[in-house]
Every structure is written in structure tokens, then in C-alpha cells.
């Protein structure tokens, strides 16, 4: 079973990376989700697999009878799942705003903010509303 898990981890990471390398900004989102799932699986399988023995204390005992599935990675993954969802929601909102403001979904057109001393080439191509600086005062209209 460990080999199957390793296979899944590899596939998820490979697919995630392929999507992260695409220029289409929406594919980036899908890649992020796959990457999160792959990482969770990696942590889960890394602590050893125990079938059908959840770390629950039976009613008539005060500790978990061995063998049991390791509770610590589970707690970590649980946190990770929730955080990934938060990241995803934020990324969706950000990509949405970016698309509305810049009217492009091509990541290769979004290079200017990171480059040395360049005026964003896309600054003048706004479709809906003129582009405002990211840290602008947001006065509206």
C-alpha cells in the first residue's frame, strides 16, 4: 500500500507542477489545490499506515490500545486542509481582481511589477476600469 501511496504522491506533485508552470492564471489555481492534496498525502503516508484503527480512546479505557494510527500527522494535516482552503479562497479573489483590472489571464503579461524600473505595459489596457495602483487610496469612481 505504501508503494501505491508513493505513486499517488508523485502523480499529484507532477500534475501540480505542470499546472503551476502554465501561463493561464486559472490553471494556477487547480495546481495549488493538487499541490496541497499531494503534500497532505505525503505527510499521511510518512508516519506509517495503519488500517482501521483510529486514535480514539474506547469508552472502557483511559488510553488508546495499540496499534493505532498516528494522531500527530492527522492533527497537522487537518490544520493544513483548512489553511489551504483559506489560501485558495484568497487566491480566487485576487485572481478575480487581477483579471478585472488588467484584462489578461496570461501570467507572462503580469511580469512588470517584479521587474527593475519598468512601467507596467498592461497599465493602459484596462477594460472595465482604469488600473489603480495596488496600494492606491481607493477613492473610487
Binders of other proteins in range 94-123 (CB under 8 A): 94-97, 99-100, 105-108, 110-116
Task: State the Cα–Cα distance between residues 40 and 29, nearest whole angstrom.
Answer: 17
HEC string of 35-55 equals HHHHHHHHHHHHCCCCCCCCC
β-partners of residue 24 are 106
127 binds other proteins (CB under 8 A): no
Contact positions with other proteins (CB under 8 A) in 19-38: 19-30, 33-34, 37-38
Tell the smallest beta-carbon distance from residue 123 to other proteins (Å): 14
Tell the smallest beta-carbon distance from residue 37 to other proteins (Å): 6
C-alpha cell at 93: 479573489
Nearer to other proteins, 107 or 123 (CB): 107
Amino acid at each position: 500500500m505504501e508503494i501505491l501511496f508513493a505513486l499517488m504522491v508523485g502523480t499529484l506533485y507532477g500534475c501540480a507542477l505542470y499546472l503551476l508552470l502554465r501561463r493561464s492564471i486559472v490553471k494556477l489555481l487547480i495546481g495549488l489545490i493538487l499541490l496541497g492534496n499531494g503534500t497532505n498525502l505525503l505527510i499521511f503516508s510518512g508516519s506509517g499506515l495503519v488500517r482501521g484503527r483510529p486514535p480514539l480512546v474506547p469508552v472502557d479505557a483511559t488510553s488508546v490500545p495499540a496499534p493505532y494510527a498516528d494522531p500527530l500527522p492527522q492533527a497537522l494535516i487537518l490544520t493544513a486542509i483548512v489553511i489551504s482552503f483559506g489560501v485558495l479562497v484568497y487566491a480566487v479573489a485576487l485572481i478575480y481582481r487581477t483579471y478585472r483590472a488588467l484584462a489578461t489571464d496570461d501570467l507572462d503579461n503580469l511580469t512588470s511589477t517584479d521587474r527593475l524600473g519598468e512601467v507596467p505595459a498592461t497599465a493602459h489596457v484596462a477594460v472595465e476600469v482604469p488600473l489603480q495602483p495596488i496600494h492606491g487610496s481607493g477613492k473610487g469612481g
